């Protein structure tokens, strides 16, 4: 029953729209000041085709107008005049809630900043905040997977690295840039994996039953149940929010448990490794490696 529930959650996540969102806020310049939301922007993405299904953005007039700068150092920055006649958070709360609640949230540094601001904004008007089905924080994901190729993990740096233009620090523009940055990073990582030479500790990724080896080595490979490419995880997704924006998170915004079986298979595999090493230069086995690499993607 636990595995069925876990699988059901995975299927639901694979078909649930992903909402990339971003919030522009005031910047406190002295102790005791708080952040005020000035703009909210979001795009709803199809998880299978990565196409934009819906978009929404709005300026938001904060309760404390004195916290908004009368002039902005950025060419497209948000000023006091810009939000003077904007709707309040209470007026746009229904739309924001309907966009976010029960969906997968995605964005750059959202765990540490934007999620906290969402909770604060809804608490200010006495309403429950939306809750995500899962969360993808591109800052955490790219920090662990993409590394320092671009120099640092700032959105502006990553966008410049891929020639995507300058970050405008406006919500809707930034979320669209975020999606494009992720696409480019994913392509780079895909190519790195694709061109990584074999051999590598293959037995740690794919478990062969000894009964399937003869047919493999004789060039009669079949897609049988004796070959296990991945084990379904019994782990649950866990997401937590933090309040600091200064340093990248140390964990992914949404983590998946290690997708390998936890039972002890080393005794079985030691007998198989010798057969694998002897067969590694054979054409059928090389074809198997290529095929299985495509399956793992």
* Neighbouring C-beta atoms of residue 3, cutoff 10 Å: 11
Reported as half-sphere exposure (CB side, CA atoms, 13 A), residue 83 has a value of: 29
Tokens for 135?
A: 């969360």
Give 18's strand partners: 45, 104
* Measured CA angle at 107 (ends 102, 108), to 5 deg: 150
Structure tokens at 217: 């080595």
- Kindly state the tokens that stand for 180: 């494009």
- Contacts with 94 (C-beta within 8 Å, 6 or more apart), sequence order: none
* Phi, psi of 251, rounded to the nearest 5 degrees: -130, 160
Q: Which residues pair with 207 in a beta bridge?
A: 228
Cα distance between residue 190 and residue 175, in whole Å: 22
| Catalytic-residue membership of 169 | yes
**Which of the following is catalytic: 85, 108, 169, 184?**
169
The kind and range of the H/E element at 116 are helix 115-124
Is residue 83 within 8 A of residue 69, CB to CB? The reply is: no
Interstrand relation of 37-45 and 18-25 (parallel, antiparallel or unpaired) = antiparallel
Kindly state the helix (H) or strand (E) to which residue 275 belongs, with its residue range: helix 266-279
Beta bridge partners of 136: 106
Residue 211 to residue 224: CA distance in whole angstroms: 11
Query: Could you give phi then psi for residue 211, rounded to 5 degrees?
Result: -70, -20
Residues acting as catalytic residues: 169
């Amino acid at each position: 029953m636990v595995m069925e529930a876990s699988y059901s959650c995975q299927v639901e996540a694979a078909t649930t729209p992903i909402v990339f969102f971003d919030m522009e806020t005031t910047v406190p310049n002295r102790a005791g000041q708080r952040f005020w939301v000035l703009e909210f922007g979001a795009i709803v993405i199809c998880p299978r085709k990565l196409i934009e299904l819906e978009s929404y953005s709005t300026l938001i007039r904060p309760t404390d107008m004195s916290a908004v700068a009368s002039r902005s150092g950025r060419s497209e920055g948000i000023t006091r005049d810009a939000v003077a006649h904007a709707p309040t958070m209470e007026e746009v709360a229904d739309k924001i809630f309907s966009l976010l609640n029960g969906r997968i949230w995605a964005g750059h540094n959202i765990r540490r900043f934007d999620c906290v601001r969402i909770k604060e904004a809804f608490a200010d008007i006495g309403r429950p905040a939306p809750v995500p089905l899962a969360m993808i924080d591109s800052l955490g994901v790219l920090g662990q997977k993409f590394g320092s190729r671009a120099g640092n993990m700032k959105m502006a740096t990553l966008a410049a690295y891929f020639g995507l233009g300058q970050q405008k620090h406006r919500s809707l523009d930034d979320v669209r840039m975020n999606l494009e940055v992720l696409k480019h990073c994913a392509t780079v990582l895909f190519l790195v994996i694709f061109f990584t030479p074999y051999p590598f500790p293959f037995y740690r990724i794919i478990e062969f039953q000894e009964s399937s080896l003869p047919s493999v080595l004789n060039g009669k490979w079949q897609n049988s149940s004796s070959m296990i490419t991945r084990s379904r995880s019994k782990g649950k997704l866990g997401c937590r929010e933090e309040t600091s924006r200064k340093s990248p998170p140390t964990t992914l915004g949404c983590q998946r448990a290690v997708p390998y079986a936890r039972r002890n298979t080393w005794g079985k595999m030691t007998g198989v490794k010798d057969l694998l090493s002897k067969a590694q230069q054979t054409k059928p086995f090389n074809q198997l490696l290529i095929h299985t690499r495509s399956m793992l993607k």
